[in-house]
Amino acid sequence: MFYDVKLVFQKFLQYNLYMSAVGTIEIEKIERRVRFCDYLCVAQLFLQDNFLLERELKFDDIKPRLLGHWGTCHGINVAYANLKNLYGEDPNFSFVLGPGHGFPALNANLWLDRDLEEVDKKATVNKAGLNYLCKEFSWPDGFPSHASPITPGVITEGGELGYALANAYGLALGHPEKTIAVLIGDGELETATALDSMNLRDLFDSPKNGRIIPILHLNGYKISAPSIYARKSERELNELARGFGMTPRLVQGDDTDDFQAALRENISAPFYIMKTEKGAGGPNSHHEAHQIPLKKAQTDENEFKALKKWLESYRPQELFREVLE
């Protein structure tokens, strides 16, 4: 048997680099960030006071009008945290977000990274800023319930699904130095615009252009019905990606170790299929999780208790200390 010693050594080195790049501490850091952003999503959607649960939750702490979307938030937070860990320091990296219904997640991440503070001086990354972020979400004269022109980095506004992948290719066109990761909803990929944008890869493959990292957010549902892609087998999904000249790589979103490994693999024309559970961490089953779970939490004792349990499950005060102090 023949071994190319140099190659084996390089592989060994790569392996060790990989091991040290995603050691336990780093994995914990990514997962803590996801938990914190998940909590911030629930707090934005539901709370008008007592944002870190520093005293016993009361009915009056809950917003009188609950408006926004929960279901897709966890997956967005997972993708954001994993990409941030790897590309956070790269000035030529951008993240394009398709599923527009996950605005609480986008707002939470922009706040945590101080991007929001740059355009809104009240969104400071401390307790006062956290209170402001949560209180003003979906609130008269505050933040809207969806991404809008006041959101830092918004390219396309208007609520129409389908443009994320085309926008990502556009950003990297003629910019070989750029890397653009793009999260595409599985419902979004059912639109003609998104599906046909998969063909752009053929035109794009040139050293004059940047690198695209498409990530299909396979959370199984579009609004409350199973998406077409959720009905396909893993083999069919892989073949679909291959048909567009891409290399499929399935990732279980909550397996941080594997997600980090997958992002570091040297895959040409990758197509990541990121599986998460719609509404993960929340009280409802997937198909009920899209918008506001526990709609009657401000008046119904059982829903109030379920919300309290849900909020407490993230241990927000501990998270706040661990992430920010």
Q: Which residues bind ligand TPP (CB under 6 A)?
A: 71-72, 99, 101, 159-162, 185-188, 191, 217, 219, 221-223, 227
Query: Which H or E element spans position 132?
Result: helix 127-136
Which residue intervals of 137-265 are DSSP H helices? 164-172, 192-197, 200-204, 234-243, 256-264
CA dihedral 306, 308, 314, 319 (to 10 degrees): 170
The sign of the torsion formed by the CA atoms of 323, 42, 282, 234 equals negative
Which CB sits closer to ligand TPP, 219 or 284? 219
The C-alpha atoms of residue 212 and residue 180 are separated, in whole angstroms, by 5
Asked whether 276 and 253 are in contact (CB, 8 A), the reply is yes
Which CB sits closer to ligand TPP, 100 or 270? 100
The C-alpha atoms of residue 223 and residue 291 are separated, in whole angstroms, by 8
Least Å from the CB of residue 319 to ligand TPP: 24
Amino acid identity at 13: L
Which CB sits closer to ligand TPP, 232 or 264? 232
Which CB sits closer to ligand TPP, 52 or 251? 251
Please give the full DSSP string across 268-287, using - where no structure is assigned.
Answer: SSEEEEEE--TTTTSSS-GG
Least Å from the CB of residue 188 to ligand TPP: 4
Which CB sits closer to ligand TPP, 220 or 248? 220
Which CB sits closer to ligand TPP, 95 or 221? 221
Q: Specify the pairing of strand 211-218 against strand 179-185.
A: parallel
Torsion region of 279: left, alpha or beta (phi above 0 gives left; psi -120 to 50 gives alpha): left
The sign of the torsion formed by the CA atoms of 217, 218, 220, 225 equals positive
Residue for token pair 């990292």: 213
Least Å from the CB of residue 137 to ligand TPP: 17
Least Å from the CB of residue 273 to ligand TPP: 13
Residue 149, token pair as written in the block: 């022109």
Least Å from the CB of residue 282 to ligand TPP: 13
Least Å from the CB of residue 160 to ligand TPP: 5
Which CB sits closer to ligand TPP, 99 or 214? 99
Least Å from the CB of residue 213 to ligand TPP: 18
Least Å from the CB of residue 42 to ligand TPP: 16
Which CB sits closer to ligand TPP, 191 or 298? 191
- Report which residue's Cβ sits closest to ligand TPP: 185
Beta bridge partners of 143: 137
